[in-house]
Amino acid sequence: MALSSISPVAAYISAQKDEETAAANYAKADATTKNEVAAFEKAAPSITSVDGLLKNYSALQVVLGAYNLSSISTETALIKDLLTQDPTSSTSLAKKSANATWLAFADAFTTWGQNDGTASTTPFTSDTISSIVTMFQERQFENSSSNQDNGVGNALYFTRKMSGVTTLSQVMSDPTLLNVVETVSGYNPDEFGALDYSQQVRLLQNKVDLKTLSTPQEIQQYAERYLAMLQINPQTPDKPASLMDLFGGDTSDEGILALFDTSSSSTSTGSIYSGLF
């Protein structure tokens, strides 16, 4: 039965019980995802350097997709910095950024980071490949049209990621988590995104108490609130770029780097600004 034939909350609850299996089944049925996974599994064992990964476009998209970093797929210099710098060093980009998503990505390839982007053996062990495939399949499942149009995909992602989140900066470094929190807090994500970073922090500090999101039940209830809010105030979901879209490049300036831009040229007014003064 298609998820779209039932309510978003019911669809979310059903998928959330065993998302890994639901995602694996989706990957088997979706030709694009199936082919991307097969190509990655074939190529990964022979990739021993960052340059090798960057040269294998298909494999790179699977890795970035697994870590919810598809938005930086064309930013080669950024990817290279994240993977060739020791993430445990205070001078590394990943550490200095305090971006939890970047840190998780860099940490996964610490061997490269500590050896200037190379390794005597591939960091893509069988366990690593399996983990990346699972995460990639989950993101593809969450980003599918049936799960994006009703918000279920974002709710599922929020549920599986929030258990490791303890600070507001972690939320704000992840566009998907941020979208859910913005919505539940009563803000329109498009309007909210027009504010500079410090203004966003100021508003969310008064709205988000992460201590109330410390258990699976609390996180699930929050995700359900998100889905309920979308029924009242529907949003037009951003369609994730397909592999073919990515080949065409991405000139958007709305990527995750924007989170670290402390200036804003926006002159928008409205309910969000009224809350600042």
Which of these, 257, 191, 184, lies nearest to 220 by C-alpha position? 184
Q: What is residue 249's predicted lDDT score, i.e. its pLDDT?
A: 43
Q: Which residue has the higher pLDDT, 194 or 242?
A: 194
Q: Is residue 146 part of a domain?
A: no
The answer on 247 and 175 residing in a single domain is yes
The answer on 40 and 126 residing in a single domain is yes
Q: Within 10 Å of residue 87's Cβ, how many Cβ atoms?
A: 22
Residue 132 in contact with residue 23, Cβ under 8 Å? no
Residue that is last in its domain, among 107, 134, 161? 134
pLDDT tens digits for range 140-174:
999 999 999 899 999 999 999 999 899 999 999 99
Q: What is residue 252's predicted lDDT score, i.e. its pLDDT?
A: 44
The answer on 183 and 230 residing in a single domain is yes
Q: Within 10 Å of residue 193's Cβ, how many Cβ atoms?
A: 17
Specify the number of domains making up the chain. Answer: 2
Residue 46 in contact with residue 122, Cβ under 8 Å? yes
Q: Is residue 241 part of a domain?
A: yes
pLDDT tens digits for range 84-136:
999 999 999 999 998 999 999 999 999 999 999 999 999 999 999 999 999 99
Q: Within 10 Å of residue 1's Cβ, how many Cβ atoms?
A: 7
How many Cα atoms are found within 13 Å in the side-chain-facing hemisphere of 198? Answer: 4
The answer on 95 and 23 residing in a single domain is yes
The answer on 262 and 160 residing in a single domain is yes
Q: Is residue 204 part of a domain?
A: yes
Distance CA 152, CA 9 (A): 8
Which of these, 231, 240, 109, 246, lies nearest to 176 by C-alpha position? 240
Q: Within 10 Å of residue 233's Cβ, how many Cβ atoms?
A: 9
The answer on 22 and 101 residing in a single domain is yes
Q: Which residue has the higher pLDDT, 241 or 91?
A: 91
Return the residue matching tokens 């190379």.
Answer: 118
260: domain range?
A: 151-274
Place 2 in a pLDDT band, splitting at 50, 70 and 90: very low
Residue 255 in contact with residue 75, Cβ under 8 Å? yes
The answer on 114 and 179 residing in a single domain is no
Tally of residues, the chain? 277
Full-model pTM: 0.80
CATH code of 118's domain: 1.10.3700.10
Q: Is residue 243 part of a domain?
A: yes
Calculate ∠ Cα 113-118-124, nearest 5°: 85
CA quadruple 261, 265, 267, 269: dihedral, nearest 10: 0
The answer on 167 and 124 residing in a single domain is no
- As a whole-number percent, the residues of the chain with pLDDT over 70 amount to 83
How many Cα atoms are found within 13 Å in the side-chain-facing hemisphere of 257? Answer: 12
The answer on 155 and 51 residing in a single domain is no
